[in-house]
Amino acid sequence: MPETLREEPNEALVSIFETEQESEALVIQGLLEAAGIEVLITNFDAPQDVLPVGGVALRVREDQVEEARAILAEYKDKGITDAEAEAS
């Protein structure tokens, strides 16, 4: 996946969300980007012999953490249907 964050060498990125479902991460990425928040998706797949273990983390710039967490909290409280309706 392409990285969408501006490249600034000393800029701190903060992990705000982790999930095993890439589809859920993509929905949240869309919500955050619609609000003007840049998002970096990081896969942390760890291959195993029996069961695959892994997931996806969303990271944002340190100066956008509070706004991103507020959007994430709204998503968790209301669900995607209500959040999408408000964005429209």
Residue 58 sits in a domain whose CATH number is: 3.30.70.1530
In a domain, 4, yes or no: no
Q: Please give the single-letter amino acid code of residue 81.
A: T
The pLDDT of residue 87 is: 53
Q: Which long-range contacts (CB under 8 A, 24 or more apart) does 62-67 make?
A: 62/11, 62/12, 62/13, 62/14, 64/37, 64/38, 65/14, 65/16, 67/35, 67/37
The pLDDT of residue 49 is: 58
In a domain, 35, yes or no: yes
In a domain, 1, yes or no: no
**Residue 47, domain extent:** 13-87
Helix (H, G, I), strand (E, B) or coil at 27: helix
Instruction: Please give the tally of structural domains in the chain.
Output: 1
pLDDT tens figures, 25-83: 999 999 999 999 999 998 876 665 555 667 899 999 999 999 999 999 988 887 655 44
Dist CA 20 CA 37 (whole Å)? 22
* pTM for the structure as a whole: 0.69
In a domain, 2, yes or no: no
Helices (H), 1-88: 22-34, 65-87
In a domain, 5, yes or no: no
